[in-house]
Amino acid sequence: MVAACGTVPSRDASTPLTFVVVRHAEKATDDPDDPSLSPAGRTRASALAARLRDAPLVAAYATEFRRTQQTAQPVADAHRLQLTAYYARGPAGEIAARWKQAHRSGTVLVVGHSNTVPDLVAALCGCATDAMDETEYDRMSIVRFDADGRARLEVQRYGAPAGP
């Protein structure tokens, strides 16, 4: 799926600004409040790192929860970046505006939750997005900004197919 979306100030045309937004990988049942990743989740986190191996990653964000941090950490490690935490329940519009202001070019990884990713993607691109099912772990939303600041959303899949 590809959609034309909103705009932001002009960008560096040589390395456009791209946000890659995913939900955390599959979670274990070890802690009801803050579970870690399951073996399938660790495999998916590795698949994400492999998928983004050649991306010009400039930042990696994950919420304060273990499952999002464990999903993003292999990517951050591969790019020698420090993982930055953001508040999961913060206002999506404010968070997206802060990220768009902080990053002018390169690729930014964002790892969130099924109930936050759609709002973050919509705030980043200025477009409508589909809700995310609790069993959907393989959606990768890619928001690319052209040199004129126009955003375009593309939805892809990564890792093993997810589902019930």
Digit-coded pLDDT (tens) for 58-96: 999 999 999 999 999 999 999 999 999 999 898 999 999
Statement: residue 147 has pLDDT above 70: yes
What's the N-to-C CA distance of the chain in angstroms? 22
Q: How far is it, in rounded angstroms, from Cα 24 to Cα 90?
A: 17
Is there a domain that residue 12 lies in?
A: yes
Is there a domain that residue 64 lies in?
A: yes
Q: How far is it, in rounded angstroms, from Cα 111 to Cα 116?
A: 10
Phi, psi for residue 41 in degrees, rounded to 5 = -65, -40
Is there a domain that residue 99 lies in?
A: yes
> What pLDDT does residue 13 have?
53
The tens digit of pLDDT for each residue in 48-57 reads 999 999 999 9
Is there a domain that residue 138 lies in?
A: yes
- The pTM of this model reads 0.91
Is there a domain that residue 134 lies in?
A: yes
Is there a domain that residue 45 lies in?
A: yes
Is there a domain that residue 162 lies in?
A: no
Phi, psi for residue 133 in degrees, rounded to 5 = -75, 150
Total structural domains within the chain: 1
The CATH number of the domain holding residue 14 is 3.40.50.1240
77: containing domain: 2-157
Is there a domain that residue 164 lies in?
A: no
